[in-house]
């Protein structure tokens, strides 16, 4: 399912940060720890807590990737942007591949490590799951293969300049504290910080097609699989039946 390419303008960003006092203190955008192999592409869920009841109208976050990890399968837009696009670009996640967009993206990701992900009217257009904390969007990250040159181990992806806004009728908006999440690139006998996550008991699994329709059984074609564990955490992945 495509998310509309409606991005924050500069005025909207100022408006969001102007209501920081309206956010509950524990509100956060976050990503659970991720494991992957060299050369593998994984889909990572950007989650939001504390605004489930109010919903979400917009969000923004800077993602700063270390060398060896590359964001892939996203669209770029110059709307509302002025600056050095070789180092800083809008990132618009997509669940489908488009050769033209991927070719354009390659111009940015060859050396860029800092990308901005933004969405407007995210509740209506984003890929969101209604159980507990919600996954706003999925974005894809690839561990650069390059003859398996990436060193196995834990890599930290920084998340800063985070802002969220609820619908105007609710009026909750504000900036969030900087954060980070860990991507573990596996190798032989590589200890990881997420082994326990992989071993957790599964409470349920839901399937979503690209139109956002939910099912207990996989759809033909592309599925986004959301696994809920008994401790309340969730994991999302993309599979093709």
Most confident by average pLDDT, 9-13, 126-130, 188-192: 188-192
Interval 226-241: pLDDT, tens: 777 777 777 776 666 5
Alpha helix locations (H) across the chain?
10-17, 99-109, 122-125, 195-198
Q: What DSSP element (H or E) covers 97?
A: none
Out of 19-23, 85-89, 194-198, 232-236, pick the least confident. 85-89
Q: Which residues contact 181 (CB under 8 A, 6 or more apart)?
A: 30, 31, 32, 33, 34, 156, 157, 159
* pLDDT band at residue 164 under the 50/70/90 scheme: confident
pLDDT score, position 126? 35
CATH number of 10-193: 2.60.40.680
Nearest residue to 59 (alpha-carbon basis) of 70, 50, 48, 43 = 48
Interval 114-125: pLDDT, tens: 666 665 544 333
* 227, β-bridge pairs: 205, 235
Nearest residue to 9 (alpha-carbon basis) of 103, 83, 80 = 80
């Amino acid at each position: 399912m495509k998310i509309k390419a409606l991005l924050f303008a500069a005025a909207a960003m100022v408006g969001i940060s102007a209501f920081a006092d309206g956010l509950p203190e524990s509100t956060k955008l976050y990503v659970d720890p991720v494991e992957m192999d060299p050369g593998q592409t994984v889909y990572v869920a950007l989650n939001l807590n504390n605004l489930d009841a109010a919903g979400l109208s917009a969000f923004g976050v800077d993602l700063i990737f270390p060398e060896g990890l590359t964001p892939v399968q996203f669209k770029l837009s110059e709307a509302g942007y002025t600056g050095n696009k070789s180092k800083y670009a809008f990132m618009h996640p997509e669940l489908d591949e488009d050769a033209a967009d991927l070719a354009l993206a390659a111009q940015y990701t060859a050396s860029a490590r800092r990308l901005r992900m933004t969405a407007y009217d995210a509740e209506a257009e984003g890929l969101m799951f209604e159980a507990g904390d919600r996954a706003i969007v999925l974005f894809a990250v690839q561990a650069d293969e390059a003859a398996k040159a990436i060193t196995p181990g834990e890599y930290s992806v920084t998340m800063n300049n985070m802002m969220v806004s609820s619908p105007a009728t609710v009026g909750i908006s504000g900036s969030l504290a900087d954060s980070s999440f860990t991507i573990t690139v596996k190798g032989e006998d590589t200890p990881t910080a997420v082994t326990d996550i992989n071993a957790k008991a599964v409470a349920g699994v839901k399937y979503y097609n690209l139109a956002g329709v939910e099912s207990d059984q996989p759809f033909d074609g592309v599925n986004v699989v959301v696994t809920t564990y008994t401790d309340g955490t969730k994991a999302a992945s993309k599979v093709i039946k």
